[in-house]
Amino acid sequence: MSYFIDVILPIPLDKEFTYSVNQNEAHFLKPGMRVAVQFGKSKVYAALVTKIHQTAPEIYDAKDIEHILDEVPIVTSHQLKLWSWISEYYMCSKGEVMRAALPSAFLLESETIIHRNDKEEIDENLLKDDEFLLYEALQHQSLLRIQEVMDIIGKKNVLPLIKRLIEKKVITVQEEIYEQYKPKLVRYVKLQVSYTSEEGLQALLDSLSRAPKQRDVLMHLFMLQAQSTKAIKVKDLIKASNSTSGVVKTLIDKDILEEYHLQTDRVQYESNAVASSKNLNTYQEQALLAIKESLLEKDVCLFHGVTSSGKTEVYVKLIEEQIKEGKQVLYLLPEIALTTQLISRLQEYFGKKLTVYHSKYSVNERVEAWNNVKESKEKAQIVIGARSSVFLPFTNLGLIIIDEEHESSFKQYDPAPRYHARDTAIVLSKMFKGKVVLGSATPALESYFNANQKKYGLVALTRRYGNVLMPDINLVDLKTKYKRKEMKGHFSDTLLKAIEEALKEGEQIILFQNRRGYSPVVECNTCGHSPQCPNCDVSLTYHNYRNQLRCHYCGYHIAMLQKCQACGSHELTTKGFGTEQIENELRELFPEHNIGRMDQDTTRGKHGYEKIITKFEEGEIDILVGTQMLSKGLDFRNVTLVGIMNADNLLNFPDFRAHERSFQLMQQVAGRAGRTSKRGKVLIQTYNPFHQILQQVSVNDYDGMYKDQIEERYQYKYPPFYRIIKITGRHKDYNRVNEATDWLAKSLRMSFKENILGPEFPPISRIRNQYNKNILIKIPNGQSLKKTKEIIRKIQNSFKSIKEFSGVRIIINVDNY
Ligand code: ADP
Ligand code: ZN
Ligand code: ZN
C-alpha cells in the first residue's frame, strides 16, 4: 500500500503537489501540518498538507518528503477553505495566499545543527534506544544536521526525539528547531532545596555573615516569597533588594540559588484593572439596538455614523456581548500603526483579553499571537489588527468589526494575493455563522449600495457625541486670493487669520497637504528641463532638509543640483509644494509656536507615529502639518481648526474613484476639528470652489455625493454595477509590453467584446525600470464570474506558451482599487 499527501507550496504555481509518505507518516500527518519537501533541483520548502490519500499522481513520480515539521496542525480547516476562496476569487495561487497568511517564522526553515552537550555527564542507561543511537553518533561527530539525524534513526519525524534529548541535556541545538520562532524565556530564581529546611537555612545565613550583600538578597527573596506564591523573577529580586545581577550570579554560582526559565509571551499588557465601558447616550443606544436588530436578519450591517459620533463606544458594547458568550472578536483597522489611541482605549476596557496583530511586531510575537488565537486563549479573545489579521486561525469567531471600512488600504495592491480584507472578512465570518459590522462616517459607495439594495442592514448615527456641532466648512478661492495678492506663501489671509485666532485661544491646528517633501518638481528657468528619476517616469521631489532630490516610487536619491543638467544654467526653481515646505513657511510665520509634521519622512521606526501623536496630545505641538495619515480616526480634544492647503490635486487624480476618495478624505480630515464643546472650523483652499465634490464636502452631504457618483458609475459601467478585473503587463522592454498587452487585449475582446478597455499606459508607466500597461475587463452583473475567470485563465495559459512574450509578467487584480 502506498501513501501520498497533497501539499501547498509557498510559490506562485497554481496547483497543489503530491509527495509520497510511508504508512506511519500517513497516520501521523493531518491536514494543516507542515512538511519539508524538495521542489525543483535543490530547494527545500515548508509545505502545508491539505490531504492524505492513496492515489499516485498520474504524470510524475511522487518524491518522498524530507521531514515532518509539526506535531499538530498549525492551520485549521476553516483557514484552508478561506485560502481556497481567496485563490479562486482573486485569481492567485494558494501558495501565494499561504505566503501572505502565515507568519514568516512558519515559512522559513533555518538549518538546524545539533551538538553534543559536553557540559553534562550522561547516564547512558537512562536513554531509550533511538536516543542512544544519536548519542553514540555524537561521540564520533561533534555536530549533526537534521538530514543526518534522519538517516541515523531511519525515520523522518525526528522532532520529538530531538526535543527529548534537549530536555535530557544530551544535546544542544544551534538555532531553535526548524523555526525562527524562539519562545522568550524569563529568568527566575529559587532557593536550592538543600537549604529549605530550617537548620539548613540558619547555617546558610550564618555562613554569609561576612557577605552582607548576598545575605541581603536572600532576605529579600524570603520577603518576596512571603508576599506571594508566584515564582520570583531575577529582575524583581534585583530591584527589591536594590542589588546587582553580579551578586545574584554569585549566589547562583555558589549553588545557593537555583536559576530556572519559564516561557512567557513577548507582548504583555500591564493593565489588570479593567475600566467599565461608557454609558451610551440616547442616540448611541438607539444605534446599538438597531444594529443588533438588523443582525438578527442579516449577516452584515453598515453603521454610518458621522465623525465623532461615538461609534467606537457602540462597538465596545457589541464586543462585550460576544465576550460574555465566549466568542472571539476581530476588530479590523486600515492601518494599525496609526491607531495607538484606539488601542489604548480598547485596552482600558478589555485589558488582557486584547491581542494586537501588528506587522511591525517581530516574527516571534506574531507566532505567539497566532497560537493564542488558534487555542482560543482568553488573552486573544479580541484581536485588533490590519488586513492580514483575517488570516489568523480563529476557531470561534462571533463578530468582525471593520472600522473605517471605506479605506482603500484594506485592499492589498502588491504582491498577490490582491485581496480586499473587508470582502474577505465577510466570507470568513460566514464560515462561523458570525456577524459583521462595517463602520464609517463616509462609507464606500459599494457598501452603501449594498445597504440600499437590502443586502446589508443600514444604521445611521447623525449626531456627534455631546451634541457638538459638525464643523463649519468653508471654501477659499485661491484664484482670487492670488489675484488680490492676499496670499503669504501658500497661505490665504483667511487661513492665516483663522490660525492666529486659534493660537491666541490656546487651541491646536491641523493642516493637510497631500504631498510630502518640499516640492514635487524642480525646473530650470532657462530651458525648462526638470530632473527625472532614471528608473521611473516621475520627476524627483526636492527635500529641503536633506538637500536631496528623491523619487517617491523607488527611493532613488541624489544631492540637490547646483545647476541644470541639460543647459548648465544656475537658475533652478521649484514648483508645487509638499508638507515640508508648509512646515518651513509656518516656522517663519509663527516663530513663537511649535510646528510638527506627520508624514512618511517623520514617522519611520517602530514608534514613529506614536511619538508625534503623543506630542500633539500633550500640547507640545501647536500646529501639525501632515499627509492623509491625519485622516485616520485620530481623536484630539483641542483641535478647533483644520486647513486643507490644496484640494485640487486630490480631485484631479485620473481614477474613477478619485471623486469618492476626495470626498472621504476631506470629510475625514475635517472630522478632526471641534470634537469638544466648541464648534470646529475647516478651511479648504482650492482653485475650483464650485466643484461639485467640494460643495458637497462643505455641507456634509454624503447622500448627494452618493447619488451623483453612483449615477456616474452606472453611466460609465463601473462598480458596483460592473465588476472590474485589471490585467497589467509588465516588462523592462517597452516594445515587449506593447506587443504582449496588444495580443492579450485582442484575445480578450474575442470573448468580451466592448467590455475590454485598453491596453493603456497608466499615468506613471515606468516604475523601477519596468513598464506597465493595463487592460480593464468590465463584467456586467448577469455575466458569470466563474466562467469569465476561466476564459481569462485560458487566455493567460496560451499567452504563457508564446515564446516572444516569455518574461512578460501578467498581474491580475480582481476588484481593482
Ligand atoms: P467616532 O469613532 O464615531 O469618530 P469616537 O468613538 O472616537 O467617535 O467618539 C468621539 C469622542 O467622544 C471620544 O473622545 C469618546 O471618548 C467620546 N465619547 C463617545 N461616546 C461616549 C460616551 N457614551 N460617553 C462618554 N464619552 C463618549
Ligand atoms: Zn536648463
Ligand atoms: Zn524612481
Query: What is the atom index within ligand 1 of the atom nearest the CA of 279?
Result: 23
- Exposure on the CB side of residue 496, measured as CA atoms within 13 A: 15
Domain borders along the chain are 3-106, 117-177, 193-255, 282-464, 472-516+581-711, 519-576, 722-814
Give residue 311 CA to ligand 1 midpoint distance, Å.
7
The one-letter code for the residue type at 817 is Y
Q: Higher confidence at residue 395 or residue 674? A: 395
Ligand nearest to the CA of 522: 2
Pinpoint the alpha helices (H) of 325-470. Answer: 340-350, 363-374, 421-431, 445-452
DSSP secondary structure letter of residue 175: S
Helix (H, G, I), strand (E, B) or coil at 279: coil
CATH superfamily of the domain spanning 282-464: P-loop containing nucleotide triphosphate hydrolases (3.40.50.300)
Give me the long-range contacts of 687-690 (CB less than 8 A, separation at least 24). Answer: 687/477, 687/478, 687/479, 687/648, 688/647, 688/648, 688/651, 689/475, 689/476, 689/477
What's the rounded mean pLDDT across residues 734-744?
Answer: 96
Residue 420: left (phi > 0), alpha (psi -120 to 50), or beta? beta
Residue type, 695: Q
State the average pLDDT over residues 533-543: 92
Outline where 375-492 has alpha helix (H).
421-431, 445-452, 478-483
Q: Kindly tell me the sign of the dihedral angle through the C-alpha atoms of 332, 333, 337, 338.
A: negative
pLDDT of residue 475: 97
Q: Which residue's CA is minimally distant from atom 23 of ligand 1?
A: 280
Which segment of 143-157, 473-487, 660-674 scores lowest on mean pLDDT? Answer: 143-157
- Residue 41, all three cell numbers: 533541483
Cα dihedral sign, 141-147-151-153:
positive
Smallest CA separation from ligand 1 atom 24, residue: 278
Quick: pLDDT tens for 621-651.
Answer: 999 999 988 887 678 889 999 999 999 988 9
Report the nearest atom of ligand 1 relative to the CA of 403. 2
Task: Report CA(470)–ligand 1 centroid distance (Å).
Answer: 14
Q: How many angstroms separate the CA atoms of 741 and 748, rounded?
A: 10
Is 522:573 a contact under the CB 8 Å cutoff? yes
Q: Can you tell me the mean pLDDT for 518-526?
A: 92
Domains 472-516+581-711 and 722-814 share a fold: no
Ligand 1 atom, smallest distance to 671 CA: 4
Q: What is the mean pLDDT of the chain?
A: 89
What is the distance in A from the centroid of ligand 1 to the CA of 693? 28
Cβ density class 437-451: b for 16+ within 10 Å, e for less = bbbbbbbbbbbbbbb
Helices then strands, each counted (H, E), the chain: 27, 37
Which one is predicted more confidently, 190 or 328? 328
Residue 360 has what pLDDT? 65
Strand partners, 6: 18, 51
Residues 6+ apart with CB under 8 A from 608: 337, 602
Report how far apart the first and last C-alpha atoms of the chain are (Å, whole number).
Answer: 51
Q: What is the 3-state secondary structure (H, E, C) of 659-696?
A: HHHHHHHHHHHHCCCCCCCCCCEEEEEECCCCCHHHHH
CATH H superfamily, domain 472-516+581-711: P-loop containing nucleotide triphosphate hydrolases (3.40.50.300)
- CA of residue 401 to ligand 1 center, whole Å: 17
Arithmetic mean of pLDDT, 321-349: 88
- Taking the C-alpha atoms of 90, 721, 386 and 639 in order, what is their torsion angle to the nearest 10 degrees? 160
Strands 623-626 and 722-731: unpaired
pLDDT digits (tens, 9 = 90+) for 343-386: 888 888 998 899 988 766 666 778 889 999 999 999 899 999 99
CA of 312 to the centre of ligand 1 (A): 7
Q: What is the pLDDT of residues 272-281, one digit of tens each?
A: 556 788 899 9
* CB within 8 Å of 682: residues ≥ 6 apart: 471, 472, 473, 474, 641, 642, 643, 644, 669, 670, 673
Residues 347 and 331 sit within 8 Å (Cβ to Cβ): no
Burial annotation 293-305 (CB, 10 A radius, 16+ → b, else e): ebbeebbbbbbbb
Ligand 1 atom closest to Cα of 306? Answer: 3
Q: What pLDDT shows up at residue 110?
A: 46
Is residue 111 helix, strand or coil? coil
Q: What is the pLDDT of residue 713?
A: 95
Q: What is the pLDDT of residues 262-314, one digit of tens each?
A: 766 555 555 555 678 889 999 999 999 999 999 999 999 999 999 999 999 99
* Protein residues with CB under 6 Å of any ligand 1 atom: 278-281, 284, 305, 307-313, 465, 635, 675
The CATH code for residues 519-576 is 2.20.28
Cα 514 from Cα 644, distance rounded (Å): 9
Cα–ligand 2 centroid distance for 763 (angstroms): 25
Question: Taking residues 149-177, what's their average pLDDT?
Answer: 77
CATH topology of domain 3-106: GIY-YIG endonuclease (3.40.1440)
Which pLDDT does position 267 carry in this prediction? 55
Give the integer Cα–Cα distance in Å for 73 and 778: 41
CB 153 within 8 A of CB 161: yes
Q: Identify the three-state secondary structure at position 471.
A: coil
Percentage of the chain with pLDDT > 90?
A: 60
> Three cell numbers at 255?
549553588
Q: For residue 543, how far is its CA from the centre of ligand 2 (angstroms)?
A: 20
What is the spatial distance between Cα 96 and Cα 422, in angstroms, rounded to a whole number? 19
Half-sphere exposure (Cβ direction) of 657: Cα atoms closer than 13 Å: 16
Cα dihedral across residues 277, 279, 283, 287: positive or negative: positive
Judge whether 547 and 559 are in contact, CB under 8 Å: yes
Q: What proportion of the chain, given as a percentage, has pLDDT over 70?
A: 94
Output the CA 650–ligand 3 centroid distance in Å.
Answer: 22
**What is the spatial distance between Cα 27 and Cα 3, in angstroms, rounded to a whole number?**
10
What are 1-32's pLDDT values in tens digits? 899 999 999 888 888 999 999 998 999 999 99
Give the nearest ligand 1 atom to 342 CA.
7
pLDDT of residue 128: 84
Neighbours of ion ligand 2 (CB under 5 A): 524, 526-527, 529, 564, 566-567, 569
Q: With 0-12 CB in 10 A as exposed, 13-18 as middle and 19+ as buried, what is 687? A: middle
Average confidence (pLDDT) over 602-615: 78
Residue 313: nearest ligand to its CA?
1
Q: Range with the lowest mean pLDDT among 207-211, 514-518, 661-665, 796-800? A: 207-211
* Tens of pLDDT, residues 173-228: 764 433 434 445 677 888 887 787 778 888 888 888 888 889 888 888 888 887 77
The predicted-structure confidence for 684-712, as pLDDT tens digits, reads as follows 999 999 999 999 999 999 999 999 999 99
Give, for ligand 1, the residue of 291, 316, 635, 669 to mutate: max count of ligand atoms closer than 8 Å to Cβ: 635
Q: What is the mean pLDDT of residues 483-493?
A: 96
Distance of CA 527 to the CA centre of its chain: 45
Query: Is the pLDDT assigned to residue 666 strictly greater than 60?
Result: yes
CATH entry, 722-814, from 3.30.70.600, 3.40.50.1220, 3.20.20.70, 3.40.50.720: 3.30.70.600
Of 176, 174, 108, 180, residue with least CA distance to 363: 180
- Which amino acid makes up residue 147? Q
Phi-psi region of 700 (alpha: psi -120 to 50; beta: other; left: phi over 0): left
